[in-house]
Structure 1
């Protein structure tokens, strides 16, 4: 019987030079992340429904709470299922759930039915985001994985101003009764295209196949990737450098997270992410409704929201430039102070121009904080002491779990 050797996919992927193959993986994931904007249209849909008399502050709060609960559940369960079924299968499965719930939700007869669809929608979205980021980073080489991930996040956050621009263009053309429905159907159609691209061009992660002991399949995928890279670059690949300490993973109880230095990390990391999600989703879901409550009409509310949301990709871009140049503590505290001060000033404005300008910078700082929170959490799993032994296993589980929850954004 032929001996099947370990393919060492991680080392082989890490030594690949950047080429069109990496760009194609980036394009598929970035497009999938860009168009799955059911979360980004939440506030815009609520504004339309308020104009129709479907919502009040209570139902808006319920809608927002269901959004967060669905994404939280999806991020937790989706990661577990993705680890069992594979990155490609999970990608396609969660896209299917997300698309189906958007289409069904678009034809909701009442608010209760829409809220139920919204929950399923966000379970699918939360799971999808985890799978997209996990699958993508497994393909990228360790030397510049952070750069590639930042690029994906930058493209993905253009969904906020883009869907607002579409809503702004649809408002004078389509009645409010159909406007919000179309806003759900558009990302459903675009996500269907993303699913087709994934089905055709997104291979299973060889790292995942190797981790499941499916060495023969992993070797087949790796050879296909390597042959493609050689054709694209016209050069032989660098030698494989295998670093293996030979230590087998050890099981560790989750209770290890609640003792010693790990408990402090759990508390601090949780506070950082809770702050991030509360600030981010409060603004996304409530801004258009708040504008209308203040007497601003539906059209102008959507315009103001659109101008503000251009701060999302701008904030991600600025954070990419300064993230490694400012101490984490200084950046985190400074951004929270700026958000608090600008938020208060923003609440006092009545001028359309000032609302637009201050709103843009407020969203910019919010998304800089989103980047900070993700980077800070990742840093907390990188100390040598915590990477070793049982404490390291617990810390890695903690980081993966919270990253799953924070990825849904």
Structure 2
């Protein structure tokens, strides 16, 4: 639901007094600067999860990794992220968003140093777990910080910058891997150089967060009203800052009267249990598209397709470029296109791409000059389909479908299972490739994506165009699962 500046708009459970309009001025530049600094957390998220793509091959040789320990190195970050996603949110509630992000930047920095100087497999896993804790915290704390700092008129576009920075970080990792691998590839320890680059944005994030304010919502929630007003005066017109602070204080007071539902209460209610399963299902389906097998093991896949080492590093940039383009398109269409239709189109396209990759690898044997280029084209098409229709839409839907009293539990559980699925896929993908090759893996992904398509068609409700209050009422009564309501498009 759109709201015109200066008009009453829904917050919490009712309509609040009108706020002065959001005008231009120095505060807009300050808000943009703060958002840029915070989204370095997203860039680090993207870089750290994707740099392993090019670093793994030389690391395997130097550290003597097997297919299984190769998977352990990759997935250790992801298991750490599952823990970081849960603990990061709780830490930011207790300490504040800003302090949590400062701590997160320190974990990024020291985790990277442990990885860069690791002499063996065991130390590398420790470093990757430290990085994972930071990545998981970034996936929850940074979006919350941006959402709480943004004016409601531009909250969607400002919060969406974090997802854009994640894919920019992934692209940066692919570019660094290609340059470093081709310039210094003949020297030992080239993977250490690739991993070391992440320390630069980690330092930038730490230094930048020392100069930006705390979330005004967190300050008010912890009794610091005057400090919150001062923060809002930095990023709002002065006539609006105090009015918005009073509105946040009123909403915080109303929310304090609500009692959050624990897991027993959720699981004992059939409709809340069902919407929780929908959230978990979306997170699992997103990961089992196979997108992160491309992001983590893209170079290995392209080498098996027929590219040599240096060429595989260079052409591996193409999925990173299309990921950025797809994320940009997704942000532009998010407020004008049905969520359900987005999911249906996305899972249809990913299923088709997986089938074509499997068929292509069967029909074009190793040694055929067309084989690597056809598979590269299909991989790029898959990544573009995923980033345009599924990645952003999943995160937006997860933020919308849960009633307020179970939102923290529902989102936390869904994100935890999402990261756990990601970790298990990262752990076992090298073993799967060794056992069944590209053909078997992508035919398997095609079957899973087809099942995901059935899931979203039959279970996932439409959320666009409905207020959070309307969705909450529909979920708690079970009406959201009625076929005519589920299928309707606002």
TM-score scaled by structure 2?
0.71
Quote the Cα distance in structure 2 between the aligned partners of 1:218 and 1:407: 34
Q: What SS does structure 2 have at the residue aligned with 1:66? A: helix
Which digits, 9 at most, give the CA deviation of each residue in 1:4-50, with x for residues without a partner? Answer: xxxx9x99999644521221122212334224511121222212324
Question: What is the Cα deviation at residue 211 of structure 1?
Answer: 0.6
Alignment partner of 1:158 is 2:168: yes
Higher relative contact order at CA 8 Å, sep ≥6: structure 1 or structure 2? 1
Question: What is the Cα deviation at residue 396 of structure 1?
Answer: 4.8
1:378 alignment partner in structure 2: 399
Aligned partners of 1:13 and 1:141 also within 8 Å: no
Aligned partners of 1:310 and 1:360 also within 8 Å: no
Q: In angstroms, what is the RMSD of aligned CA positions?
A: 2.9
Quote the Cα distance in structure 2 between the aligned partners of 1:50 and 1:370: 30
1:240 alignment partner in structure 2: 243
1:5 alignment partner in structure 2: none
Which digits, 9 at most, give the CA deviation of each residue in 1:206-255, with x for residues without a partner? Answer: 210111123343344345555xx55xxxxx54883665476422243222
- Where does structure 1 lack aligned partners over 5 or more consecutive residues? 1-7, 231-235, 387-391
- Where does structure 2 lack aligned partners over 5 or more consecutive residues? 1-10, 362-369, 423-490
Aligned partners of 1:138 and 1:207 also within 8 Å: yes
CA distance change for structure 1 residues 310 and 13 in 2, over 3 Å: closer, same or farther? farther
Q: 1:6-405 counterparts in 2 under 5 A?
A: 16-17=22-23, 19-36=28-45, 37-52=47-62, 54-175=64-185, 177-200=188-211, 202-223=212-233, 225=235, 229-230=237-238, 237=240, 240=243, 244=250, 247=254, 248-258=257-267, 259-278=269-288, 279-294=290-305, 296-347=307-358, 348-349=360-361, 351-368=371-388, 369-381=390-402, 386=403, 392-399=404-411, 401-402=413-414
Quote the Cα distance in structure 2 between the aligned partners of 1:354 and 1:327: 32
* Equivalences, count: 384
Which digits, 9 at most, give the CA deviation of each residue in 1:363-403, with x for residues without a partner? Answer: 1112231112112222313xxxx4xxxxx412453135535
Q: Which moved more, 1:113-122 or 1:350-359?
A: 350-359
1:233 alignment partner in structure 2: none
Aligned partners of 1:14 and 1:143 also within 8 Å: no
Quote the Cα distance in structure 2 between the aligned partners of 1:31 and 1:12: 34
Quote the Cα distance in structure 2 between the aligned partners of 1:154 and 1:249: 34
Question: What is the Cα deviation at residue 274 of structure 1?
Answer: 1.1
TM-score scaled by structure 1?
0.84
Spell out structure 1 runs of 4+ moving beyond 4 A.
10-16, 223-226, 236-239, 241-246, 403-409
